[in-house]
A and B are shown apart, each in its own frame.
Chain A
């Protein structure tokens, strides 16, 4: 009888311990997934890769009154900073821009060559949903895309169900990068 009672108590303890562990583990998983930030490629790696590991010195473009209205029109709001860093050689320009998807910023690397997007890549994704936009099946749609005279993309981009806000964010940044590339080319020609 005593032995049976001991067994009952021990099994109850085991069940309780397992229950507590499950709760704690769920909590930890919950916390970690709540603040997810995935770095797919670092900014420096992206820039190095774009210029075959010999990147030029970075430059900046200031979003003055001349340019900020157009940027605001493209994004639907002012860009978060007044100065944007870029890398440029005679062949291409490289931009690293950020735009909020639903709640958190998405960091995007864009290579522009001859006024067309050569490559677009999600470098850092911080949202809980919409991560599908980082995949090549989506981003390759931007290759060779250009900007129209009214600052739209000259081709339709197929969206992803459940990732509309992330899709929109990428579209806006692509337009913005194409616009800024146009601006710096005009500046350099002068």
Chain B
């Protein structure tokens, strides 16, 4: 009887030792799994937060009016390829504005010239708006519609560097000479350059104008809705989006499975431990 009892105890102890070895193995592998689970969790934490926050915002898009609010932050606009070129030359014409931004020349909000050379001067003359570029002169009516464009060859001397006006003459200075014309701009006559007169100069860009000009050039910019959608969908990552999102998705799958496995493993171990203790 005692032998049977002893055998039982021995077996139980052997079993306990075997069980505790197995238990340690399981505990170790569970610990490893937990460690990887934690690492994976930390790795995808940022993206999970991003998805959650952007998802929440999009869920309440109507209430937040995200499509009606616009971002003007330059580095974000740069990501979208909306550049902010310099304003090089701005002239006030009795309430109207002529300016050059990038390679475009504008009369108020109207684009009047693309791929333009340097804007030299702009002024009102003979009921026309006269815009002088390095290689051409644009004559506009009061609405900014083109009356005529004088450029090169028989229309205009080359390489204009300055311009001015008198009551009935319009004068331009080129690299070689100075020329004047009457109010029809049909013919140019050489004049003396010796007398120094005030030439038309560009003005400093008023701050309010700068904002208007940039807005006109870029449009409204990017809406908050667009940005949040792009962050949520990963479009903002461009071509790398597919790879990045695939990696995140796989990470979250592993996270879910490892989390579930780890939890089940703990439950299993706990039950086994309870069972062993009873024995």
Contact = CB atoms under 8 A, between A and B. Distances in A.
B149 A81 contact: yes
Given A57-B186, A58-B186, A83-B139, A42 B154 contact: yes
A126 to B, nearest CB: 13
Given A82-B141, A82-B145, A42 B153 contact: yes
B184 interface: yes
Contacts of A82: 141, 145-148
A82 B154 CA distance: 19
B187 interface: yes
Interface string A30-67: 00000000000011100100000000011110000000
Question: Of residues A42, A58, A83, which shows the largest number of chain B Cβ atoms within 10 Å of its Cβ?
Answer: A83
B146 A85 contact: no
A176 to B, nearest CB: 16
Interface residues of A, number: 13
Contact of B153 (A44, A81, A83): A44
Interface residues on B, range: 10 to 19
- Mostly, the B contact residues are loop
B147 A43 contact: no
A60 B128 CA distance: 15
Contacts of B146: 80-82
Nearest to B145: A82
A116 to B, nearest CB: 24
Interface in B198-249: none
Interface string B141-180: 1000111110001110000000000000000000000000
Contact of B148 (A42, A59, A85): A85
A57 B188 CA distance: 11
Contacts of A83: 139, 147-148
Nearest to B140: A82
Nearest to A39: B153
Nearest to B186: A58
A59 B187 CA distance: 10
Contact of A44 (B141, B149, B154): B154
Interface of A: 42-44, 47, 57-60, 80-83, 85
Given A60-B186, A82-B141, A85-B155, 19 more contacts: A42-B154, A43-B155, A44-B154, A57-B186, A57-B187, A58-B186, A58-B187, A59-B186, A81-B146, A81-B147, A81-B148, A81-B149, A82-B145, A82-B146, A82-B148, A83-B139, A83-B147, A83-B148, A85-B148
Interface of B: 139, 141, 145-149, 153-155, 184, 186-187
17 contacts: A43-B153, A43-B154, A44-B154, A58-B186, A58-B187, A59-B186, A60-B184, A60-B186, A80-B146, A80-B149, A81-B146, A81-B147, A81-B148, A81-B149, A83-B139, A83-B147, A85-B186
A-B pairs, 7 with minimum CB distance: A44-B154, A83-B148, A43-B153, A43-B154, A82-B147, A58-B186, A81-B148
